[in-house]
Amino acid sequence: MSDGYTTRPLTSETWDDFAGLVEAHNGVWGGCWCMGFHPEGFGDSPDANRAAKRTHTERGSVHQVLVYDGDECVGWCQYGSPAELPHIKNAAKYAQGAAEPPRWRIGCIFTGSKHRGRGVASAAVAGALDAIRAAGGGVVEAYPEQTVDRPPQRGAYLHTGPEELYAGFGFVRDRQIAKWRWVMRAEV
């Protein structure tokens, strides 16, 4: 855990904190509300995405670690089983090389724009891995982007995180599924 941050799961009790962070960023990506990995994917509008995310939260079909700086929610890391988070980018390429499916996958990761570069995403991933461990552990996949040997990328584009973030937790490259995207795996 990084200095000073605490974590809590996204639940009905923490929904307002999560919603406040998303709304402060115009819904994130114009209103995705972190719905892209969920079974129904993106809805027709930001309001539809918000409602769908809220429904998942209320019925407990989302796993997401929220990071707090004091009382302020400043970031999150989404994780879950492949059935809970079926839609990864580059799915066709992913399917070509797939062997044993992982027990868990990490989906979207997000840090509030004023809080980047200070370990929030690291705290979020640490919290997600702790929760996975507490739920029995197993193989975890992440789908981050390579940043080395590539022009510098603004954080805004790294919706599944940079490779360095996961390497720091012992994830190793499994295979490449896009020009700059890798499947990385760790056993927890």
Ligand X SMILES: CC(C)(COP(=O)(O)OP(=O)(O)OC[C@H]1O[C@@H](n2cnc3c(N)ncnc32)[C@H](O)[C@@H]1OP(=O)(O)O)[C@@H](O)C(=O)NCCC(=O)NCCS
Binding residues (CB under 6 A) for ligand X: these are 28, 32, 34, 75, 108-111, 116-122, 147, 153, 155-156, 158-159, 161-162, 164-165, 168
**Residue 99 Cβ vs ligand X, minimum distance, rounded to whole Å:** 27
**Residue 24 Cβ vs ligand X, minimum distance, rounded to whole Å:** 13
Helix (H, G, I), strand (E, B) or coil at 68: strand
Instruction: Give me the residue whose beta carbon is nearest to ligand X.
Output: 155
Quick one: which of 29, 49, 27 has its CA closest to 155? 29
**Residue 120 Cβ vs ligand X, minimum distance, rounded to whole Å:** 4
Q: Which is nearer to ligand X, 54 or 116 (CB)?
A: 116
Q: Which is nearer to ligand X, 80 or 119 (CB)?
A: 119
**Residue 136 Cβ vs ligand X, minimum distance, rounded to whole Å:** 26
Q: Which is nearer to ligand X, 146 or 176 (CB)?
A: 146
